């Protein structure tokens, strides 16, 4: 395959990120400015504040990514950017920046799907990984089971019918007083708790083996908290966190293994912020080992939002000949496989 060094930009939510990636597999730099502290004050991401902060930070983050890679724009082959899905204001900042760079430098512009980016984080971590494989994508906005048929070619087997897995982590964390961002906090507190202390439901979605539903589980946790309060019982935060986490992990593991077995593929990968959850990583590692399925997972830093994963995805789009014009726009509801 041809060689290409790509500058990538990611601003779809609350991380202002830029990276330089060579041939889709090698990180030359990966700069992430996290806005989390700013949004923690409000208990979640405030889109207007995120947009404004992206504008303030993007030039600096991009300059740092180039500097750390020891590159000038003239050393690059393309500029890539997440153009959806995500929050429209934040996405627009990255898209505008990438278009400006493309216009000024003459570099080709490549718009990247955010989920394709998450999946491609695996290519950076595992140089031997090639499609086809099954991938579980679990993040704050998405829970998808995907067959990666080839580079840039996806079949979505299942998705969440309501809340994404990460969203459930964030909402339950808030309800038990852990605050934002919930996922990492529940992960940590759950280590001190008993995962079998409370029997929360494992939701089945009627006609599908692969779709997920997490809003029922979230309601079950809220009901449990209410009933404890009414009875004057104090809750054990660690037990609630561990039992809730176990319910999510069980469903994600069961559906993932059903998909892998049904597809007859022997390779399984995970991606997205929730993929950094330690209990989920352990459960999937064990389930794959029992079935002699090769298990791939990015390091936690590459699971949560970053631009290196966008640079990895962009390389395979570049090789496939995908180029976008300066009319590229942010598409908040972009579907996977739509270019």
What's the rounded Cα separation, in Å, for the pair 94 and 307?
11
What's the rounded Cα separation, in Å, for the pair 190 and 183?
11
CB of 105 to ligand KG4, least distance (A): 28
Q: Which residue's CB is nearer to ligand KG4, number 18 or number 101?
A: 18
Site string for Zn ion, 298-337 (x = CB under 5 A): -------x--------------------------------
Q: Which residue's CB is nearer to ligand KG4, number 184 or number 193?
A: 184
What's the rounded Cα separation, in Å, for the pair 219 and 256?
24
Q: Which helix (H) or strand (E) holds 156?
A: strand 153-159
The answer for 292, left when phi > 0, alpha when psi is -120 to 50, beta otherwise, is: left
CB 317 within 8 A of CB 283: no
Among 169, 214, 295, 296, binds ligand KG4 (CB under 6 A): 169
Per CB under 6 A, does 117 bind ligand KG4?
no
What's the rounded Cα separation, in Å, for the pair 88 and 92?
6
CB of 15 to ligand KG4, least distance (A): 7
Give the distance from CA 230 to its chain's centroid.
38
Per CB under 6 A, does 11 bind ligand KG4?
no
Residue 182 interacts, among Zn ion, ligand KG4, none and using kind-specific CB cut-offs from 5 to 8 Å, with ligand KG4
Q: Which residue's CB is nearer to ligand KG4, number 216 or number 298?
A: 298
How many residues lie near ligand KG4 (CB under 6 A)? Answer: 19
What's the rounded Cα separation, in Å, for the pair 66 and 161?
40
Q: Which of 136, 150, 106 is nearest to 316 (CA)?
A: 150
Per CB under 6 A, does 183 bind ligand KG4?
yes
List binders of ligand KG4 among 73-102 (CB under 6 A): none
What's the rounded Cα separation, in Å, for the pair 148 and 113?
14
Residue 51 interacts, among ligand KG4, Zn ion, none and using kind-specific CB cut-offs from 5 to 8 Å, with none
Q: Which of 113, 103, 110, 104 is nearest to 12 (CA)?
A: 113
Q: Which residue's CB is nearer to Zn ion, number 184 or number 193?
A: 184
CB of 273 to ligand KG4, least distance (A): 2
Q: Which residue's CB is nearer to ligand KG4, number 185 or number 324?
A: 185
Per CB under 6 A, does 139 bind ligand KG4?
yes
Region near ligand KG4 per CB under 6 A, out of 1-9, 177-185, 216-224, 316-324: 177-185
- Token pair in block for residue 150: 């080839």
Residue 112 interacts, among Zn ion, ligand KG4, none and using kind-specific CB cut-offs from 5 to 8 Å, with none
Helix (H, G, I), strand (E, B) or coil at 7: strand
As to burial, measured by CB atoms within 10 angstroms (0-12 exposed, 13-18 middle, 19+ buried), residue 222 is middle
What's the rounded Cα separation, in Å, for the pair 34 and 238?
27
- Token pair in block for residue 210: 């692969």
What's the rounded Cα separation, in Å, for the pair 8 and 17?
8
Region near ligand KG4 per CB under 6 A, out of 30-38, 205-213, 271-279, 320-328: 271-279
How many residues lie near Zn ion (CB under 5 A)? Answer: 2
Residue 32 interacts, among ligand KG4, Zn ion, none and using kind-specific CB cut-offs from 5 to 8 Å, with none
CB 137 within 8 A of CB 110: no
Per CB under 6 A, does 193 bind ligand KG4?
no
Residue 311 interacts, among Zn ion, ligand KG4, none and using kind-specific CB cut-offs from 5 to 8 Å, with none
Please give the residue ranges that form the binding site for ligand KG4 (CB under 6 A): 13, 139-141, 166, 169-170, 181-184, 187, 272-274, 276-277, 304-305
Please give the residue ranges that form the binding site for Zn ion (CB under 5 A): 139, 305
């Amino acid at each position: 395959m041809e060689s290409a060094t790509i500058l990538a930009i990611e601003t779809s939510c609350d991380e202002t990120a830029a990276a330089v990636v060579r041939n889709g597999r090698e990180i030359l730099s990966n700069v992430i400015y996290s806005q989390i502290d700013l949004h923690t004050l409000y208990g979640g991401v405030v889109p207007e504040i995120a947009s404004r902060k992206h504008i303030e930070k993007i030039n600096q983050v991009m300059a740092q990514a180039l500097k750390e890679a020891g590159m000038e724009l003239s050393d690059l082959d393309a500029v890539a950017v997440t153009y959806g899905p995500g929050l429209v204001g934040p996405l627009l900042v990255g898209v505008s920046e990438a278009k400006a760079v493309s216009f000024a430098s003459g570099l080709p512009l490549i718009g990247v799907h955010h989920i394709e980016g998450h999946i491609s984080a695996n290519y950076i971590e595992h140089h031997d990984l090639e499609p086809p494989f099954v991938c579980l994508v679990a993040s704050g906005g998405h829970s998808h089971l995907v067959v990666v048929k080839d580079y840039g070619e996806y079949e979505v087997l299942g998705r969440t019918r309501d809340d994404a897995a990460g969203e459930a982590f964030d909402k339950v964390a808030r309800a038990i007083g852990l605050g934002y961002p919930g996922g990492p906090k529940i992960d940590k507190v759950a280590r001190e708790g008993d995962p079998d202390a409370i029997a929360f439901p494992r939701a089945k979605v009627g006609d599908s083996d692969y779709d997920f539903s997490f809003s029922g589980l979230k309601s079950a946790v809220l009901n449990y908290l209410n009933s404890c309060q009414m009875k004057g019982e104090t809750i054990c935060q660690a037990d609630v966190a561990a039992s809730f986490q176990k319910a999510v992990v069980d469903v994600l593991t069961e559906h993932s293994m059903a998909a892998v077995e049904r597809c007859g593929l022997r390779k399984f990968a995970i991606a997205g912020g929730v993929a950094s959850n330690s209990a989920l990583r352990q459960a999937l590692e064990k389930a794959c080992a029992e079935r002699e399925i090769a298990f791939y997972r990015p390091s936690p830093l590459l699971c949560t939002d970053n631009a290196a994963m966008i640079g990895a995805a962009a390389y395979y789009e570049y090789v496939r000949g995908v180029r976008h014009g300066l009319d590229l726009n942010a598409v908040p509801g972009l579907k996977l496989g739509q270019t």
